[in-house]
Amino acid sequence: MSTDVATLEKPWKEYTFVAFDTETSGQYPIVDEIVEIGMIKWRGGQIIDRYQTLIKPSKPMGEAVIKIHGITNEMVEHSPAINDKINEIYDFLNGSVVIAHHAPFDLGFLTYEFEKFRKPLFSDTAVCTSLLARALIQSPNHRLQTMVKLLNINHEQAHRAESDAEACLQLAFHCMNLVGANATLKQVVKAQKRTLWWQDYSLKTVENNQKWRGFMEALHEGKNVEFVYEAGTHKGKPRQAKPIGVVRNPDGDYFPALCLIDNVVKRFYMNKISDSLIIN
C-alpha cells in the first residue's frame, strides 16, 4: 500500500507529505487511546487537503492528560469511535510520506489501530521533525513549541492536533531546506539519523513472539506477568511485574512495567526478555 516512496531517491519536493498529530488519553497504545487526530496534506508546493476529528475513547480520560491537551470528556462525549473513522484516516494517509513531531509516538498509536482493524501497514518511510531539529538546529530543547517560537512559525493552538500538524509541516520544510532545497528524501532521512518504517511499530509482531506474548496478554487483560530478564541484579531468575504499556523505539523496544520486587516502574527491554507468562 504505497507509491514509489520506498526508493527515497527523488527530490523531497516531489513527494506527497501528510503532517499529522495525535492527541491521546495517555502515553501508551493498547492501554491508552487516540482522542483527536489532525492531518495536513501537501503536494506540489501547496496544502491540498486537511482532516481533523475528535475521537471518543472507550473510557473517560484522567485530569492529568486533560490538562495537557485541553480536550475534556464532555468534548468527546458525542464524537465518533475510532472504528467509525479508521477508514477515512487510513485513506487520507495512503500514498504519502508522513511527518510528525516525535513520530515514533504517533506511529505507535496509529499502527496499533491499523493492525486492530486489519489494515495493511504502509511501506513508506516517515519523517520526524524532532529528530531533524535536533540534528540541524541549535536550541536548548527541540520541543515543537520551542521550535515554533525560535523560527516564528504561525501556531494557533498548541496541543491541538490540526494546529500542531500544521506547525510540524512548516518546521519540516525549514529542516528539509536546511538539508538542501534539491535534496532527495534519502538525504533527509539520513539527516534525521534514523529510518522510521511503519512496520517497525507493529505490535502484532510483538504479540506473535513467544518471549513477549505474556507481556502483551497482561497488558490487554490488566494482569501481571512472570518473566525471565537477562539483565539487572536478578539476571536469569523469574520475576514478576505489572505492564503499563509497550514502546517500540528506534533506540530499543521496551515494556514499561511496575516491578513487583522493587515496587517501582522500570523499562524492561524486549531483547533482554527470554520468556514471559501472564499470571493473575
Q: Render pLDDT for 17-42 as a digit per residue (tens, 0 to 9).
A: 999 999 999 999 999 999 999 999 99
Per-residue confidence (pLDDT) for residue 6, from 0 to 100: 54
Rounded CA-CA distance 177/65 in Å is 35
Active-site amino acid positions: 159
pLDDT category at 4 given cuts 50, 70, 90 is very low
232 exposure class (CB count in 10 Å sphere: 0-12, 13-18, 19+): middle
Residue 214 has pLDDT above 70, yes or no: yes
Domains belonging to the chain, first-starting first, are 5-201 (3.30.420.10), 206-279 (2.30.30)
The answer to whether the predicted template modeling score (pTM) of the entire model surpasses 0.75 is yes
Per-residue confidence (pLDDT) for residue 160, from 0 to 100: 81
Per-residue confidence (pLDDT) for residue 24, from 0 to 100: 97
Residue 5 has pLDDT above 90, yes or no: no
Q: Render pLDDT for 128-139 as a digit per residue (tens, 0 to 9).
A: 999 999 999 999
Least confident span in 63-67, 105-109, 171-175, 230-234: 230-234
